[in-house]
Structure formats: C-alpha cells, structure tokens
Amino acid sequence: SSCGCRAETLGQRRFYPPLSTARARTMHRINRLAAHVIDSSRAVEQPTAAPVSSAPSPIVATLKAKIAALAKERSALKAELLKHGDTKIQEVTIDMCINGARSIKAMVTETSDLDASKGIAYRGRSLFECNKVLPKAPGGECALPEAAFWLLLTGEVPSDEEVRQLTQELHSRSAVPQNVLATLASLPAETHPMTQLSVCMLALQKDSKFTAGYQQGMKKNEYWEAALEDALDLVAKIPVVAAHIYRRTFKDGKVPAYDSKLDWAGNYAQMLGVNDSEAFKEVTRLYLMLHADHEGGNVSAHTSHLVGSALSDPYYAWAAGLCGLAGPLHGLANQECLAWLVEVQQELGGKEPTKEFIVDYVERTMKAGKVVPGFGHAVLRQPDPRYMLEREFALKHTKDDPLFKLVDCCYQAIPPTLEKTGKVKNPFPNVDAHSGQLMHFYNLKEENYYTVVFAVSRALGVMAQYVWSRALGLPIERPKSVPLDTLKAALKK
C-alpha cells in the first residue's frame, strides 16, 4: 500500500513492518474495523474450541467444547435466517417509539426468554424447573447459581461433578488484584455501594483477556473464547468485591476469610458476615439463581449488550450495565419496596396487619398520586415466578417474621385492589416485593446494598449473553432514531 504497510487477507492475522509505528498502528486499526464491519454482514466463521490460554483447566475445556458445539448449530441457524432477512416479524407503532421501545422485537438473546404468561425461562426451562433439576449444595433445596450459569452458557443441565469443578474454577480465579482494592479504599465510605461496584469493575478492566487478545490480533471466531475467560474471571471476583464494599460501607471494614470449601453463593453469604446460618446461605443461593438472567431487553442487560457490541470488553460492558441497574426504575426497586413495607409497618404501630388495613392504605396511596412499589411488571401478566419461589421459601423458613406477615397480607389484599381500578395490566406482585423481606430477616438490613446483591446475580446472565453475542458474531448495535416530526408525518400517510 502507499504507506508501505503490508497486511494479509481480511479475517487473517495482520503483520505490519515497523516503517512508521504510529502510522502502522493507525492502518492496523482501520484494517481491523473494516474487517469487523465486512464480516458482520456475512455468516460468521464457525467458532472453534481452540483455547485462549495454552492449557485451560479440564472443566473450562469442557465448557468451551460444549459452547462451541452449540454455537456451530446456532450460527448455522443464524446464517439460514439471514437468507430471509427481509421477512417482517412485527409492525412498529408510534407508541412503541415514544414509550421506551416497549415490545419491539429488535434483539437476539439466546440465554433466556421472558413470556408474559409463564415468566422467565433459562434456555427454555422455567424457574420452577430450574430450581428442581439444577444441582444443589449438599443437603440443600435451592439450585446453585453457578449451575444456572452453566445452563445459560451451554443450554445443558450440568451434572453435580461439573458444577463442583466449575465452583472450584471460580474459586481459583477469585483473587482481587491489590490495585482494585486500593481503588476501592480511595472512595469515600459514604459513596453509594453501586457506584463503588461500578468503579471496581472498571479497575479490573486492565487485566481483560478479551482486550489483550484483540490488541494481539486474535481472529473474530476466537472472540467468544476470550470473552468467556473474562466472564469467568468477572463472575469469580464480583462477590468478593461486593463483600468488601458491604463491610467497608456498613461495618468495620474487616471481611470474613474466603472459604473455598463453600459454593460460590454460600461463600458470598458468609463473607458478608451478617448471618452464619445455612438458611441464609440457602436463600442467597435461591436469590442469586432467580435473578441471574431476564432476557436482553431490560436496562442493565441491554446496556451491556450495546456497549459490548462495540467490542468493549466484559468489564466495560458490565460497568455500564451496573449504572443502569442502579436506577430506581430498575435494580433499585427492591430497596424501595422494603422501605415501603417498613413505612406501612410503622403505621401499623405493632398491630397485626389485616386485609382491610392494607386495602385502605393502598387506596390512600393511590389517591395521593403515588404508586404501590413491588406490584405490576413491564412484561409479565401473571404472578412473578421469582416471587412465588421466594414466597415458598419464606413460608417454610420465615413464616413467623412480622415483616413476612405484612408481605403475605399484601399478597392477598393488593392485587384485587389494583384490579378494581381497571388501569393496571398486571396487579400481581413482582420479585422486588419479597426479596427485601428475606434479606432483612437474615440481618442484611442495609437497603442501599440490596442492588449490589442483585448485581452479583445478574452478572451471570449478562456475562453469558456477552459470550453468546461474540459466539454468534453479532454486529455493533445501531438503531435508527427519529424526531417527533417524523412520527407526526407518519400520521398523514
């Protein structure tokens, strides 16, 4: 070329002689970007199982082989579908454009799907089924969240041995670099826990294997493997970081020792240092499994997908997603629900809650122009399965808790009250209406921390989605936006 640089064919590794280092780097970047844009319009090369590291552990090698096999099948389906790329799947309305792109089918997410009647399904399996068939801790009744992670990544229910090895793999990756802990220590203790968590995810980014591989010229069909390495590292480290955030913000800063004999969620529960019981470890397992994924259209998942589509690495993507999760209309809702329950409990003045009292309180709340937190859902039109599974746990373990009695009374009284208004599409409680009660019962009472627990869980699903976006070779996301005048013009056609 005119600059004296030589490059191999697009899609292969490039070599540039050191004629002009700065100029060569610029051309190198342009060449790689061109390759990505061109390749995105074609059927992506079939993902291979060639490891990013020279000697992956046996369980990671197994995991990669399973993902590669499924990705080959799904990539073939993608290529076949693109032959019919002009086929319409729905009409887009003005309401959809103005009101948050609600119900627009404009993304591909392989890991989970949200049905208005059945709730979320992980790889086609309902949460009730997942909690039943996924491996559990010895003597436990709640599915292990790392087992759900395996299911989301591979489409298969793992064996007990596969989960045991995956847990050990996560333990082996869990050490948090000193620079990250130093960055955390530099933040004022009163900084919101979600801000602290997002900052720490960015501090971890310097060790991204995806970014290192990209800079070294890895091929596009190797992206997903580097993404998986980062995903495993991030999932392994995030509960440790989250425990440090809790202890420095709300306690004495001393963090209980990491216990690699426990499972991923069980160790997180004990590192919080608020309750040593097996029941608290169990409810933590249940919570982290239930919140692991919720398809790709919610704020945090979509944000992470959007950022990741630019080939920003998993740390950048999830740090961005966390900023969305911190919003009061998304992940912050669970702490608002608990605050509302505590407010109602205070008005009761120590009396037992009754349906009549709750109905009156809710009617007064609505007349004041306020919403009742924890009831209704943007998609669901039936009771939230996550709520029902938490309710099942609470009935067994916390039925005498005064706060649970209030939650139970709300469950019976509020849906009919909301339904009477004729304005609510879904009067049933969602998971946020229950999660706070369970955390509060086991002495995790700091409401500002609840979204961090949510974030530890949702990292599983978002990381699985990131891996699959790279495995399928999904391109950069770039929807078209229009001014209101364009919609007005559409009315005249």
Catalytic (active-site) positions: 330, 377, 432
State CA 435 to chain mean position distance. Answer: 17
Residue 329 backbone phi and psi in degrees, to 5: -90, 0
Q: How far apart are CA 361 and CA 355, in angstroms?
A: 10
Q: How far apart are CA 112 and CA 153, in angstroms?
A: 10
Distances (CA, A) of 46 to 52, 209, 224, 471: 16, 21, 11, 8
Taking residue 394's Cβ as centre, other Cβ atoms within 10 Å add up to 20
Q: How far apart are CA 395 and CA 106, in angstroms?
A: 40
Q: What is the dihedral of CA 142, 148, 151, 153, to 10 degrees?
A: -170
Cα angle 171, 234, 229 (rounded to 5 degrees) comes to 85
Closest by alpha carbon to 228, among 110, 11, 60?
60
State the burial class of residue 351 (Cβ atoms within 10 Å of its Cβ: 0-12, 13-18, 19+).
exposed
Identity of the amino acid at 118: K
Check residue 205 and report its DSSP letter: G
Identity of the amino acid at 158: P
Distances (CA, A) of 419 to 265, 359, 375, 376, 425: 38, 12, 11, 11, 8
